Amino acid sequence: MITLPTYDDVVAAAGRIEGYAHKTPVMQSSILNRELGAEVFFKCENLQRMGAFKFRGAFNALSLLDESQRKRGVIAFSSGNHAQGIALAASLLGIPATIVMPLDAPKAKRAATEGYGAKVVEYDRYNQSREDITRELADKFGYTIVPAYDYAPVIVGQGTAAKELIEEVGELDAMFVPLGGGGLLAGCALATRALSPACKIYGVEPQAGNDGQQSFRSGSIVKISTPKTIADGAQTPSLGQINFSIIQRDVSDIYTATDEQLVESMAFFASRMKLIVEPTGCLGLAAVRANTDSLRGKRIGIIISGGNVDLDNYSRLLAKFASQKD
Ligand SMILES: *Cc1c(COP(=O)(O)O)cnc(C)c1O
């Protein structure tokens, strides 16, 4: 049996990140509210430091390391935002960081990771095991491995996003959270259960990689090969163990969204709300727009998880969408 983190751990994490992480704004769109006949509150983690909620978990995890661990340094593997979160948190805390990153990671994410002073080691995500490479380097140099999602200090750090949202706007009827490995969803579930016990919690993942939905509905963790989707922050092959236990207990269901739906939401954020949101950050809104009937009259929280885009990729997706519309 694994001991699951609790809401008290989320509260402790909130204390550690205070003054380091931004308390991100909560935004609303009157057009969307009118269209849905509901009240939607967006928690804008695209405006978090380094552009995604991952800074929360990373900073909390690194804050918990002892003096000798800090001296030897940390290592993480990530397709992007966890890498940047670790790199920034490490530089703020004076800890050396190494990041194992796929060859095809978005350019902006890699450049930002190196910009924060982390060392990047590349691998081929379709053929090589990032876990093996990471473990080898950790053994050789004494680095502490900081997992991206299956790790209690990371989970409870991510949960501070939902804690802030509910503390600001009050209790909700439904909460929609992007889902990759489940760190954000599990952490937000802990906070939501405690602060808004009647609220239904939903995870949303890319349709091409619906391992989370399969796992949730079958009752055991399903592993898939790396899905091809524009939602690069949710290309995880399976849920983490700790994450799955919390998700099974606290989450109502897992929805999926197609790449096309993500682009549609991305265009909505850009044109209506003046927000740059990366495809993975659009999962929550995409699911809400696909389930409007059951959400009428409700108070809905949506976590916008990140805003890190390659500008050429972002503009190409939006231009294609705009030309299809007229
Ligand atoms: C990492 C990430 C996710 C998924 O988070 P998990 O904790 O792996 O489920 C969602 N959106 C963005 C922008 C991310 O960087």
To test the pocket of ligand 1, the residue of 44, 47, 50, 54 to mutate (highest count of ligand atoms within 8 Å of its CB) is 54
Q: Is the pLDDT at 326 greater than 90, yes or no?
A: no
pLDDT in tens, 241-257: 999 999 999 999 999 99
2 SS3 class: coil
Whether 36 has a pLDDT exceeding 90, the answer reads yes
CA separation, residue 161 to residues 54, 55, 135 (Å): 10, 11, 30
CB contact set of 154 (below 8 Å; sequence gap of 6+): 57, 58, 60, 61, 146, 147, 148, 183, 187
**CA end-to-end span of the chain:** 56
Q: Name the pairing type of β-strands 97-102 and 26-27.
A: unpaired
Kindly give the distance from the C-alpha atom of residue 326 to the centroid of ligand 1, in angstroms, as a whole number. Answer: 33
Distance 158 CA to ligand 1 centre (A): 10
Which residues approach ligand 1 with their CB closer than 6 A? 52, 54, 81, 148-149, 158, 178-185, 233-234, 236, 278, 280-281, 305-306
Report yes or no on whether pTM surpasses 0.85: yes
What sign does the CA torsion over 46, 48, 49, 54 have? negative
Mean local confidence (pLDDT), 168-180: 98
Instruction: Indicate which residues carry an active-site annotation.
Output: 54, 79
What's the confidence (pLDDT) of residue 78? Answer: 83
Whether pLDDT at 1 is above 90: no
If one compares 105 and 123, the residue with the highest pLDDT of the two is 123
Buried b (16+ CB within 10 A) or exposed e, 191-226: bbbbbbeebbbbbbbbbbbbbbbbbbeeeebbeeee
Q: Which atom of ligand 1 is nearest to the CA of 306?
A: 13
